[in-house]
Amino acid sequence: MAVTNFSTERVFAERMDAVDPLAAFRDRFVWADESLIYLDGNSLGPLPRATQIRIAEVVGAEWGAGLVRSWSRWVDLPRQVGDLIGAHLIGAAPGQVLVSDTATVNLYKLACAALDAQPGRGVIVTDDDNFPTDRYVLQGIAAQHGCELRMIHTDMDQGLGEETLQAALDPEVALVSLSHVAYRSGALADMARITQLVHDAGALMLWDLCHSVGAVPVELDSCGADLAIGCTYKYVNAGPGAPAFLYVRGELQEQLRQPVWGWFGQSDQFQMGPRYDPVPGIERFATGTPQIIGTVAVQEGTRLLAEAGMERLREKGIALTSYLIRLADEWLAPRGFTLASPRADARRGAHVCLHHQDAWRISQALISAGVIGDYRMPDRLRLGPTPISTRFTDVWDALDRLRQLAADRSYADLPAEPSRIT
Amino acid sequence: MAVTNFSTERVFAERMDAVDPLAAFRDRFVWADESLIYLDGNSLGPLPRATQIRIAEVVGAEWGAGLVRSWSRWVDLPRQVGDLIGAHLIGAAPGQVLVSDTATVNLYKLACAALDAQPGRGVIVTDDDNFPTDRYVLQGIAAQHGCELRMIHTDMDQGLGEETLQAALDPEVALVSLSHVAYRSGALADMARITQLVHDAGALMLWDLCHSVGAVPVELDSCGADLAIGCTYKYVNAGPGAPAFLYVRGELQEQLRQPVWGWFGQSDQFQMGPRYDPVPGIERFATGTPQIIGTVAVQEGTRLLAEAGMERLREKGIALTSYLIRLADEWLAPRGFTLASPRADARRGAHVCLHHQDAWRISQALISAGVIGDYRMPDRLRLGPTPISTRFTDVWDALDRLRQLAADRSYADLPAEPSRIT
């Protein structure tokens, strides 16, 4: 699947599609408009056909016909689907992953728990290019706990410098919280090395997997990661606002107590006893009633990725992004675009950013031309050729339209104002 | 709709159904098994037909075809649906209600915010019969904030005594958190009086509306309530794990800062700026990405209740529960059942508890007889004749089967162990 005998002709992309072992997975998704090129699965993944069918079943048969009796099949789903994610997507043995709440709330729960477990340490470390909700949640926790939030600087194109991180680590640090794949540049952090650096400093490591789960193989157990969270509406294709997941390394679970003492974390939940007494396992990190429709969508999305296989998805992801970069080098660099993502395959997730001073207007003109990518502040065009559902010809067609736009400057009359769309 | 010319004959129920102005609403729901009598809408409401259609549209057309572009229609839904709940169900002017997270997480957010806003006061008051997740969440907050959780005793059958509450109020109290309708007895608290008592003590009042929203009219604004939370999978009929809502009185919003500083509460969210700067309005109480499928289900469920009208629903709810109680008096009292809910209509929500020493086994035998109610610790049979979807003949048939069970003691051989089903 490596990009060999590269050529800028469309026939090259056609040949790549013809030998793509994952090509058939595209038809496992709903595509209402075959002429649309979708390079934004990293914001909201497309709808798997199996998920559409399954949601209709859960709504009609399980909720509609089964009524409250269906809770006997639903109640263990958050842990069961967590184990499925652990086994196929993030390298976690059973009993360490739970589908729960949102990525934001899970980050809050785990970061509070980590901080409370280390009363002698009063510093949280994160980086200034981390995803906004991560930075805000950690700011809030630092303010409430009277802690220092140590914000290290990260290059907006190249990702975290390990030396910068190392310089920020000292015996005061309780927790380091970083994204595995940077939301803008797509820079892929070295999870094993960074986790080791953090452990050498005696701190706990919390990984945000939102932009890596389902896009690149993740090996939490073998990297010795302590904590992780991730969303499921991007590469897991579980739909808008589907529930997130959290990971807590088995040996840590008993030591950690999260701040939201909800009834779904309670031992003998339906005894409804007087005192909160959390269950021993991963479900102590649960809070309220889990959203069931979203959880089954996570299950279906995870099954689809498992069937494709994370190794094959990674191989295709590298082939797609490196192909995109080569076309950009050939066609777009002369028009003022520069690569705003790591060039080395091993340092990149499954999306690519291009820098251009008119990125916002270009992203809008590109949508009008039938290609959905997205814009990221301050001047980046983000293109996500999601491995499971994107063809090489999609990349060719998208870049071809982009070079036409860049050549005729048809975007120049558009308003220069960003939208609210995520 | 009052129960007049009461008789224990089935024809009385038939006549009540014939004059029920809300009778047609039953057909707005999916009933897969017409022989099933469902008296557990207070655990999980049935599926509205409109919701089934709407979910299929949101999944197929909005997610499947619209893809990420649909966020432009989704992003304001939590506030729009919040306003709908405010207008039709809980007496709140626009801009004070938000669909968000779970009831558990919302209780955590609002209780933390209330406590932090009153640094000179270190006591939270709740009652020992409050719903478990409420008690546990408040226990957790008290432990983390070094506060006292003052647990007042409430009668398990009759609900909160206002004198008991008054005796617990002093200038140390920051927050009182109570359920409007008790989850077990169905006792209905006097919101206006209790809120006034709490305000007289200088504390803030947080109401849990889980068992009252959609069941009884709620007037948060006119009662001067400060804060409220509620779930939507009971009487709002929004499905398993649908998102909850929260209410913050307008004048309080600027003073309160909730602890989970997520990106959906951020001003200029997609500027993704360096510092958390919450929006001025109710959306500052948002956290992460909202679940969209669940939110549209809340919208449909609320619309249906709005069409029926809360006043008519309340009138029918009283008629159904008082009818149930009269049949129980006639048929079940001689078999060892006693009423475990307030007898006065004005003191009761839309469900009724009956006490019997074999309540668990009886609840299971009743399910086998085609009547779904539920069991509540330690010895209560809970029956919820949801006003929008229950017929008087359903109540007659359910109580008729119950008296047969009680007479032949066919439940006596069942295991005496509670289930995990909520």
A273/B132 touch (CB, cutoff 8 Å), yes or no:
yes
Structure tokens at A387: 């491995």
Would you state the pLDDT for residue B272? 85
Of A370, A104, A87, nearest to A233 by C-alpha is A104
- A131 is a catalytic site residue: yes
Structure tokens at B170: 């002093």
* Closest residue in chain B to residue A111, using alpha carbons only: B260
Residues making up chain A, counted from first to last: 422
Nearest to B263 among A43, A133, A272 (CB): A133
Q: Which of A20, A208, A358, A394 is catalytic?
A: A208
A288/B133 touch (CB, cutoff 8 Å), yes or no:
yes
Nearest to B139 among A132, A275, A291 (CB): A275
* Closest residue in chain A to residue B367, using alpha carbons only: A69
Per DSSP, the three-state class of A35 is coil
Which of A49, A136, A156, A417 would best serve as a mutation to test chain B binding (most B beta carbons within 10 A)?
A: A136
Number of Cβ within a 10 Å radius of residue A18: 9
Nearest to A105 among B52, B101, B367 (CB): B101
Q: What is the 3-state secondary structure (H, E, C) of B327-352?
A: HHHHHHHHHCCEECCCCCHHHECCCE
Would you state the pLDDT for residue B1? 62
Cα atoms found within 13 Å of the Cα of residue A163, Cβ hemisphere only: 1
- CB contact at 8 A, A97 and A86: yes
**Between the CA atoms of A137, A286, B86 and B19, what dihedral angle is there, to the nearest 10 degrees?**
170
Nearest CA to CA, how far is A137 from chain B (Å)? 5
Question: Which residues of chain A lie closer than 8 angstroms to B69, CB-CB?
Answer: 367, 372, 421
Per DSSP, the three-state class of A252 is helix
**Between the CA atoms of B388, B77, A230 and A371, what dihedral angle is there, to the nearest 10 degrees?**
130
Report, as residue numbers or ranges, the catalytic residues of B. 131, 208, 233-234, 382
Rounded to 5 degrees, φ, ψ at B178 are: -135, 160
Cα atoms found within 13 Å of the Cα of residue A326, Cβ hemisphere only: 19
Nearest to A64 among B52, B61, B241 (CB): B52
Rounded to whole angstroms, how far apart are CA atoms A232 and A245?
A: 8
Rounded to whole angstroms, how far apart are CA atoms B42 and A46?
A: 35
B372/A104 touch (CB, cutoff 8 Å), yes or no:
no
Nearest CA to CA, how far is B6 from chain A (Å)? 31
Q: pLDDT averaged over chain A?
A: 96
Question: Which residues of chain A lie closer than 8 angstroms to B232, CB-CB?
Answer: none
Percent of chain B surpassing pLDDT 70: 98
**DSSP string of B151-202, one letter each residue:** EE--BTTTB--HHHHHHH--TTEEEEEEESB-TTT-BBP-HHHHHHHHHHTT
3-state helix, strand, coil in chain B (%, to 5): 45, 15, 40
Q: Which of A109, A121, A150, A234 is catalytic?
A: A234
Give me the residue spans of the domains in chain A: 10-47+309-411, 75-307
Per CATH, the number for A10-47+309-411 is 3.90.1150.10
Q: Which of A263-272, B1-10, B368-377 has the lowest mean pLDDT?
A: B1-10
Would you state the pLDDT for residue A270? 85
Q: Which of A12, A25, A108, A131 is catalytic?
A: A131
Would you state the pLDDT for residue B271? 86
Which of A28, A29, A31, A102 would best serve as a mutation to test chain B binding (most B beta carbons within 10 A)?
A: A102
**DSSP summary character for residue A107:** H
Rounded to whole angstroms, how far apart are CA atoms A93 and A177?
A: 22
Rounded to whole angstroms, how far apart are CA atoms B341 and B211?
A: 14
Nearest to A261 among B139, B270, B419 (CB): B139
B104/A262 touch (CB, cutoff 8 Å), yes or no:
yes
Per-residue confidence band for B416, with pLDDT thresholds at 50, 70 and 90: confident
- A150 is a catalytic site residue: no
Rounded to whole angstroms, how far apart are CA atoms B395 and A110?
A: 47
Structure tokens at A385: 């050729």
Rounded to whole angstroms, how far apart are CA atoms A340 and A7?
A: 23
Rounded to whole angstroms, how far apart are CA atoms A113 and A285?
A: 10
A38/B133 touch (CB, cutoff 8 Å), yes or no:
no
Identity of the residue numbered A298 = V
* Closest residue in chain B to residue A64, using alpha carbons only: B47
Rounded to whole angstroms, how far apart are CA atoms A353 and A351?
A: 7
Give the pTM.
0.97
Q: What is the arithmetic mean of pLDDT over A133-160? A: 96
Structure tokens at A374: 């997205």
Q: Tell me the pLDDT tens digit for each residue of A206-259.
A: 999 999 999 999 999 999 999 999 999 999 999 999 999 999 999 999 999 999
Q: What is the arithmetic mean of pLDDT over B345-349? A: 97
Residues making up chain B, counted from first to last: 422
Q: Tell me the pLDDT tens digit for each residue of A4-48.
A: 789 999 999 999 999 999 999 999 999 999 999 999 999 999 999
> Does domain B10-48+310-408 match CATH 3.90.1150.10?
yes
H-helix or E-strand spanning residue B86: helix B77-88
Which of A30, A43, A53, A59 would best serve as a mutation to test chain B binding (most B beta carbons within 10 A)?
A: A59
B40/A103 touch (CB, cutoff 8 Å), yes or no:
no
Q: Tell me the pLDDT tens digit for each residue of B233-290.
A: 999 999 999 999 999 999 999 999 999 999 999 998 888 889 999 999 999 999 999 9
Question: Which residues of chain B lie closer than 8 angstroms to A231, CB-CB?
Answer: 289
Per-residue confidence band for A2, with pLDDT thresholds at 50, 70 and 90: low
Nearest CA to CA, how far is B116 from chain A (Å)? 9
- Where are the alpha helices (H) located in B89-152, listed in sequence order? 103-116, 132-145
- CB contact at 8 A, B386 and B51: no
Identity of the residue numbered B130 = N
Of B72, B34, B417, B39, nearest to A418 by C-alpha is B72
Rounded to 5 degrees, φ, ψ at A218 are: -125, 135
Per-residue confidence band for B421, with pLDDT thresholds at 50, 70 and 90: very low
* Closest residue in chain A to residue B39, using alpha carbons only: A68
B102/A101 touch (CB, cutoff 8 Å), yes or no:
yes
Number of Cβ within a 10 Å radius of residue B147: 18
Rounded to whole angstroms, how far apart are CA atoms B202 and A407?
A: 67
CA triple A140-B268-A213, angle to 5 deg: 65
Nearest to A420 among B43, B269, B422 (CB): B269
Q: Tell me the pLDDT tens digit for each residue of B8-39.
A: 999 999 999 999 999 999 999 999 999 999 99
Rounded to whole angstroms, how far apart are CA atoms A385 and A41?
A: 7
Per CATH, the number for B75-307 is 3.40.640.10
Examine the pLDDT at A351 and tell me if it is beyond 90: yes
B105/A288 touch (CB, cutoff 8 Å), yes or no:
yes
- CB contact at 8 A, A305 and A316: no
Identity of the residue numbered A337 = F
B291/A291 touch (CB, cutoff 8 Å), yes or no:
yes
Question: Which residues of chain A lie closer than 8 angstroms to B359, CB-CB?
Answer: none
* A and B: number of Cβ contacts within 8 A: 285
Which of A101, A133, A152, A390 would best serve as a mutation to test chain B binding (most B beta carbons within 10 A)?
A: A133
Q: What are A206's strand-pairing partners?
A: A177, A227
Nearest CA to CA, how far is B320 from chain A (Å)? 21
Of B175, B178, B136, B190, nearest to B154 by C-alpha is B178
- Where are the alpha helices (H) located in A309-382, listed in sequence order? 310-327, 359-368
Contacts of A142 (CB under 8 A, 6+ apart): A124, A148, A149
- CB contact at 8 A, B279 and B273: no
Structure tokens at A200: 């050498």
Question: Which residues of chain A lie closer than 8 angstroms to B103, CB-CB?
Answer: 288-289
- A270 is a catalytic site residue: no
Examine the pLDDT at A420 and tell me if it is beyond 60: no
Examine the pLDDT at A374 and tell me if it is beyond 50: yes
B266/A231 touch (CB, cutoff 8 Å), yes or no:
no
Rounded to whole angstroms, how far apart are CA atoms B246 and B284?
A: 11
Per DSSP, the three-state class of A58 is helix
B419/A275 touch (CB, cutoff 8 Å), yes or no:
no
Structure tokens at B20: 């029920």
- A247 is a catalytic site residue: no
Question: Which residues of chain B lie closer than 8 angstroms to A52, CB-CB?
Answer: 59-60, 64
Examine the pLDDT at A422 and tell me if it is beyond 70: no
Nearest CA to CA, how far is A84 from chain B (Å)? 20
Q: What is the 3-state secondary structure (H, E, C) of chain B?
A: CCCCCCCCCHHHHHHHHHHCCCHHHHHHECCCCCCCEECECCCCCCCEHHHHHHHHHHHHHHHHHCHHHHHHHHCCHHHHHHHHHHHHCCCCCCCCEEECCCHHHHHHHHHHHHHHCCCCCCEEEEECCCCHHHHHHHHHHHHHHCCEEEEECCECCCECCHHHHHHHCCCCEEEEEEECECCCCCEECCHHHHHHHHHHCCCEEEEECCCCCCCCCCCHHHHCCCEEEECCCCCCCCCCCCCCEEEECHHHCCCCCCCCCCHHHECCHHHCCCCCCECCCHHHHCCCCCCHHHHHHHHHHHHHHHHHCHHHHHHHHHHHHHHHHHHHHHHHHHHCCEECCCCCHHHECCCEEEECCCHHHHHHHHHHCCEECEEECCCEEEEECCCCCCCHHHHHHHHHHHHHHHHHCCCCCCCCCCCCCC
- A233 is a catalytic site residue: yes
Would you state the pLDDT for residue A208? 98
Would you state the pLDDT for residue A47? 98
Of A197, A142, A206, nearest to A178 by C-alpha is A206
Would you state the pLDDT for residue A419? 52
Per-residue confidence band for A358, with pLDDT thresholds at 50, 70 and 90: very high
Q: What are A191's strand-pairing partners?
A: none
Per-residue confidence band for A174, with pLDDT thresholds at 50, 70 and 90: very high
Q: What are B353's strand-pairing partners?
A: B382
Q: pLDDT averaged over chain B?
A: 96
Question: Which residues of chain B lie closer than 8 angstroms to A289, CB-CB?
Answer: 102-104, 231, 233, 240-241, 422
Per-residue confidence band for B99, with pLDDT thresholds at 50, 70 and 90: very high
A33/B65 touch (CB, cutoff 8 Å), yes or no:
yes
Which of A100, A211, A270 would best serve as a mutation to test chain B binding (most B beta carbons within 10 A)?
A: A270
Rounded to whole angstroms, how far apart are CA atoms B191 and A422?
A: 40
Question: Which residues of chain B lie closer than 8 angstroms to A294, CB-CB?
Answer: 241, 291, 293-294
Rounded to whole angstroms, how far apart are CA atoms B217 and B310?
A: 6
B292/A64 touch (CB, cutoff 8 Å), yes or no:
no
